[in-house]
Chain A
């Protein structure tokens, strides 16, 4: 299977704010058996009136969420999304982060945001550079170093040579405001985020309560350079307003209702086939990371075709292959080209001659491209 299976998710009516368009993804019924890890979801769950909130066996921790899992006040960032048992005792693999710096951030965030009252024993934000570098290093192949060692050096000396530019959601113009005024649907389990009508990110969770808990965190996520630029230069977008025609065929309110329903279906079809086409194409390569109780955690890479919309991401599928959790990151053109290059190198096992041949170019040209992509230090000179 080389595409994303979005069965069970229907596209809702979009909400526009400035240059940002947010398209909600709705589920008729939440995915059974999978929920946000209890430590993270305390604010959203335990609603006794919610019939969907049944027992669940498997929990997940999204990538780069920082929490106090150790119980002794040391904080860690989740490196890659994790699956665990639902009881909440599992300890995800994490990168220790400097507690002093982050504690001050936590205090500030608590004062600033009026959202969910945060439990004092956990905090939630992306350690930006670490998360991004980690995220991309999860996806881009190539010679990799042990993460712990590498992250330490990254903290001390910056992320060279594997530095990737990305922007926190808060710095994407208008995104914070768009997320704030967005009205979450009752059945909403995901969102597609467009900047100037270019798909910036897709985010899907199994349960509406999980979505409500994590909606605000979209502003703390990372977005590609392209998203930043599009949002920066975007003019206010028009809403796709419903059009019901001239009403010649409308005789009763039932006709009117039917026309309204048709307009809704049309929007759904147009959106899925035009706006979201770049995401819903085939050509992804999935890497299975973890499986548990019928759920599999996978990472996917696009075909790295230069000139086309490309997303990388993580997803959790249920036993039928349907998407329960999804998080994508849109690559900029530069990143796509770099990925293309690394991909080709990886395929040929880093042999310059064979790679150059595969790319239809010379070894010198290949070396130039590797250097200009920021991987010069990997080349042996001479």
Chain B
């Protein structure tokens, strides 16, 4: 059911009467107004697409999140189709990227030829960035929805052809690949490409659809899979997730299995299993993790252990922050931050401590970006490594503390539920802007890691302060750039230009590599193409 509205999402959602707008209206004010509405909708949508994952949050359950997000997708797709597609070029999360691709492919006939061309390029570029399991899930969703137009088949064919090793996919994502092949019927040359061409032709088809017909396979993984049914040694040639099942079948003791499979594990698999078996993740593994992931890991440890490994953890966080800051290190001047470690920063059982981890990662990133840096945690915490979600959210008081440092830049990381007392943060920021700092000597930005399902946006603190959604603290510098558009001091034209620039850069980055090697994310047999981890650095 398409949602058509001339007003913005807020007005559409709150059913406030909106003055009807003539679509053929060509006066400059009409255009301006339409542009403003589109800009507002886009920013709102991007905030949602960065933060919302359709999972349970502290204050809303999964169903509410999904319902709210579905409405937003439908609204933007129907009313601003080209902006909707362009969102693929921004730092939105994988969940929303997959949703956008699915919707674009489902509603292909609503697009013009020009739109289709851009959409095709954007989809291809985005799919290359998505983890394979998400893409396979997307293909499955398209199959369930009965979408099998020529574009969809082409997209699937191109993505499959770009996979570095379909043999690995056939073993690791066996059912998903089977479903995708059955749905889109890619040409035989796609299935026999890459490492599979070394084996005998038609091998993959037989593996997927006629198991048992061949006595051996040319592709080492396919053959290992065949042998693993009866040979324990072959188990250790397979990817971890597949080998796990076989190991259980062969009744291999867990410790022995984990020890021997270690070289086949991805980084995150190693991280998870080491902690689960009581081991400790070494310095080297930690130094490879992205900043927010590292913060999540640090917070997952009991506080006693954090204290015991303080130097290692702090060093890892600092170096990850320096890597993320890159050339921008030290360039932000005097920075103060208000970081939310109230009880609600626990998130939910499925997004455990995510808001707190974003705050912790932001703490280290800002430390690297700033010349002088002063953090203000809502609980009054002085040792960030010991952060723990507890207590109320006295944002207003903390913002006052931070403003007393008279910083060049104030960054607020919070879910926006200011409750001790409620509304004080907004009032403090309003008076600061109007009475104390009308010259805008201090730039204030609020980044919010939590999507508010009821408000179709992340929760704001004050109209005078730009609020942007955030998923990974690493994106902070780019988000601060986006933040200026929400302040209302730049027009829709600038936003449009910014978006075009980002789209251009995004497509160029992808298409430059097109003729040569890895169009995908360069997954080796070792499974680096299967994790949730990498890839962030590849985004703009």
Point out residues on A near B: beta carbons under 8 Å. Answer: 12-16, 24, 114, 181, 183-186, 239-244, 247-248, 250-253, 256-257, 259-260, 263-264, 267
Contact = CB atoms under 8 A, between A and B. Distances in A.
B400 A253 contact: yes
Q: Which of B393, B423, B426 has the most CB of A within 10 A?
A: B423
A14 B427 CA distance: 17
23 contacts: A13-B421, A14-B421, A15-B419, A181-B58, A181-B59, A181-B344, A183-B342, A183-B343, A183-B393, A183-B419, A184-B390, A185-B420, A239-B419, A241-B422, A244-B427, A244-B428, A244-B431, A251-B435, A256-B403, A256-B436, A260-B427, A263-B424, A264-B421
B419 A253 contact: no
- Is chain A's interface secondary structure helix, strand, loop, or mixed overall? loop
Interface string B358-390: 000000000000000000000100000000001
A260 B349 contact: no
A260 B429 CA distance: 12
A247 B431 contact: yes
Nearest to A114: B349
A267 to B, nearest CB: 6
A12 B394 CA distance: 11
Interface string B419-449: 1111110111011101110000000000000
Contacts of A248: 435
Nearest to B421: A13
B397 interface: yes
B435 A247 contact: yes
Contact of A242 (B391, B424, B435): B424
A260 B396 contact: yes
Given A241-B422, A250-B435, A267-B421, A186 B400 contact: no
B392 interface: yes
Contacts, number: 94
B404 interface: yes
B429 to A, nearest CB: 10
Q: Which of A14, A114, A244 has the most CB of B within 10 A?
A: A244
A258 B430 CA distance: 16
Contact of B423 (A12, A183, A239, A250): A239
Interface residues of B, number: 31
Q: Which 5 A-B pairs have the closest CB atoms?
A: A241-B423, A13-B421, A247-B435, A239-B422, A242-B424
Nearest to B454: A236
Contacts of B58: 181
Nearest to A250: B435
A256 B400 contact: yes
Contacts of A241: 421-424, 426-427
Contact of B424 (A24, A185, A247, A260): A260
Given A239-B423, A256-B432, A260-B400, 17 more contacts: A15-B392, A183-B343, A184-B391, A240-B421, A241-B424, A241-B427, A242-B396, A243-B427, A250-B435, A251-B436, A252-B436, A253-B404, A253-B436, A256-B403, A256-B431, A257-B400, A260-B427
A114 B350 CA distance: 13
A241 B427 CA distance: 9
A185 B391 contact: yes
Nearest to B392: A183
A43 to B, nearest CB: 15
B340 to A, nearest CB: 11
B435 A13 contact: no
A185 B423 CA distance: 17
Contacts of B393: 183
B26 to A, nearest CB: 42
Interface in B115-138: none
A184 B379 CA distance: 11
A252 B343 CA distance: 31
A24 B393 CA distance: 13
A240 B400 CA distance: 20
Contacts of A181: 58-59, 344
Contacts of A243: 423, 427
A186 B431 contact: no
Given A183-B393, A185-B391, A239-B422, A247 B434 contact: yes
Given A183-B344, A256-B436, A240 B422 contact: yes
A354 to B, nearest CB: 54
Contact of A12 (B342, B397, B420, B435): B420
